[in-house]
Amino acid sequence: MDESSAEPAAPLWSTINKRQARDSTHRTSSQCFPPRISLAAQPDASNFTIHEQIGIGSGGTTVHRCCDERSGKYFALKVVPRPDYQPSRTEAMLMDQWESVNSILPTHVVTKDSSTYISMELATGGDLLEHILKHGVMQEMIVAQITLKLTEALKDLHSTMLVCHRDIKPENVCIMSLDDPTDVRLCDFELARPLLELGHVYTQEESAGSSTGSLDYMAPERFYGVAAGAAGDLWGLGVLIYCLLKGSLPFEPVSEALDRRHPRLRPDAFENLSPEAANLISGLLQNDPKLRYGVDQVLGHPWLHNNQKKLNIQQKVQRAHKQALELSRLANIQQERFSCHKQQQECKA
């Protein structure tokens, strides 16, 4: 159920503008970031070559791999078949001011002819929904690493920019590399709104669009008119974690949207999950947002830390195995060279 509504005024805009500095060393030199420009700028589209389609969205929207002919670097280009499309005020502010942690935001918004072109960092691994549909559910160790990165993104979004995402789901998490499903970025900030404190008394304008988004990942309070709480993002994170581990939703089916105000977990919801994973998901799926885990509780949860240790050990083993294979390959090359040299010497003799 997607309902269009005007974005309410941002009473915390002056606070949002006070962006905090942060360490950006999480980005590696191999990543390609299209240069960020003013939204009013109009880059020359003739410098870009559009290649194959890599994704499709609603309303005829498509995503393509695109090349900047000046630098030879590739990025993703979202094509919206509407000349009047513009990012929301909150998304535009994030594009202009947020040096995002583990997130992807558009870098250009250009209107040409009857379409709008939006460029952003290229994710070659698709999204999390595509991954589990193709490869099946993920191991807890992998999901824990994904959870860590997404929670870091949400903490930065909430505490630095005072904004909530409002549409946390597997489709809105990009995998940056085909070889590493844990290399993820949060994306699609179209429904993001300025953050309002838990217990805030919402005006009618602020509550507009409370049920706009993806119903299966929407927190119960959203159906009471609470549209912009940080706790809602944590609920969505809990549902996302469950989907990655189990390949399904954790709740019993409902017949009407209002029934989602009191979602009920399936009796076998936590079957075959570790006690730590079940505890984290349970903490995130509390119907009362006051009782729900916050970002700091998630980041400090034993499930994340224990699986991070396991992942580090596995990575060390894989690295040692790779080094052993490389040494073996070099030794074989050296042996072949020695044998060839020996044969040449024998022929001369």
Phi, psi of 110 (to 5 degrees): -130, 130
Please report the pLDDT score of residue 83 as a whole number.
86
Q: Distance between CA atoms of 172 and 216, rounded to whole angstroms?
A: 14
Please report the pLDDT score of residue 201 as a whole number.
80
CA neighbours within 13 Å on the CB side: how many for 111?
9
Please report the pLDDT score of residue 322 as a whole number.
67
The CA-based angle 304-285-169, given to 5 degrees, is: 75
Helix (H, G, I), strand (E, B) or coil at 349: coil
| Lowest pLDDT segment from 11-20, 165-174, 292-301 | 11-20
Average the pLDDT over 125-146 and give the result.
94
Average the pLDDT over 252-273 and give the result.
89
Asked if residue 290 has pLDDT above 60, the reply is yes
CATH assignment of the domain containing 99: 3.30.200.20
Please report the pLDDT score of residue 312 as a whole number.
61
CATH assignment of the domain containing 154: 1.10.510.10
Please report the pLDDT score of residue 1 as a whole number.
45
Helices 230-246, 128-135: inter-axial angle, 10-degree rounding: 20
Q: Distance between CA atoms of 226 and 129, rounded to whole angstroms?
A: 27
Does residue 329 fall inside a structural domain? no
Q: Which structural domain range is residue 99 located in?
A: 45-120
Please report the pLDDT score of residue 219 as a whole number.
93
Q: Which of 39-53, 127-141, 202-216 has the highest mean pLDDT?
A: 127-141
Q: Distance between CA atoms of 27 and 20, rounded to whole angstroms?
A: 18
Strand partners, 112: 115
pTM: 0.76
280 and 298 within one domain: yes
276 and 199 within one domain: yes
Does residue 13 fall inside a structural domain? no
What domain count does the chain have?
Answer: 2
Please report the pLDDT score of residue 5 as a whole number.
44
Which residue has better confidence, 190 or 310? Answer: 190
Task: State the DSSP H helix or E strand holding residue 78, giving kind and residue range, or none if neither.
Answer: strand 73-80
Asked if residue 170 has pLDDT above 70, the reply is yes
Does residue 8 fall inside a structural domain? no
Please report the pLDDT score of residue 336 as a whole number.
74
pLDDT digits (tens, 9 = 90+) for 211-254: 788 889 999 998 888 888 899 999 999 999 999 999 999 999 88
Asked if residue 314 has pLDDT above 70, the reply is no
pLDDT digits (tens, 9 = 90+) for 60-74: 888 888 888 888 888
Please report the pLDDT score of residue 17 as a whole number.
34
